[in-house]
Amino acid sequence: MQTVEEILKLKKVKNTAVRSIVLKHLLNQQKAQSLKDIETALIHTDRSSIFRTLKTFQKNAIIHSIEDGSGTIKYAVCAEGCNCELEDLHYHFYCLNCDKAFCLFEIPIPKINLPKNFKQTQANMVIKGFCDKCS
């Protein structure tokens, strides 16, 4: 797995204390994190700095956001080599019991044929059910 320093360098994002703390936290999680999850875990870090950091990370394809239907946006670190292009999109899994969302990096979202003059820019595919801990 890549280190915080390697990822920031690769994506040409300046390393700051807050960025380093937030990215390290995200890398250490098995599941996607909501803004509230991150704020709760990093209680000593300024909340608006955390929010700005997430926006910067998202813009630079370090993390991606997940809409799992729970009403809360969650964030997960992108896979190595991800540029957050359409071909990097993958399925997510949402556990109905523990409210956790997971990246299914190995299951890409297939290209579909859209009607004439329709242009795809995003996709959001979520499988729902129970995770290994809850099933």
Q: What is the H or E stretch that residue 77 is in?
A: strand 73-77
- Cβ-proximal residues to 132 (8 Å cutoff; 6+ apart), any chain: none
97 contributes a contact to Zn ion by CB under 5 A: yes
73 or 131: CB nearest Zn ion: 131
Which of 98, 107, 123, 127: binder of Zn ion (CB under 5 A)? 98
Distance CA 85, CA 127 (A): 21
124 contributes a contact to Zn ion by CB under 5 A: no
Window of 7-15, 36-44, 55-63, 72-80 that interacts with Zn ion by CB under 5 A: 72-80
How near is the Cβ of 98 to Zn ion at its closest, in Å? 3
- Cβ-proximal residues to 42 (8 Å cutoff; 6+ apart), any chain: 21, 22, 25, 50
Residues that bind Zn ion (CB under 5 A): 76, 95, 97-98, 103, 131, 134
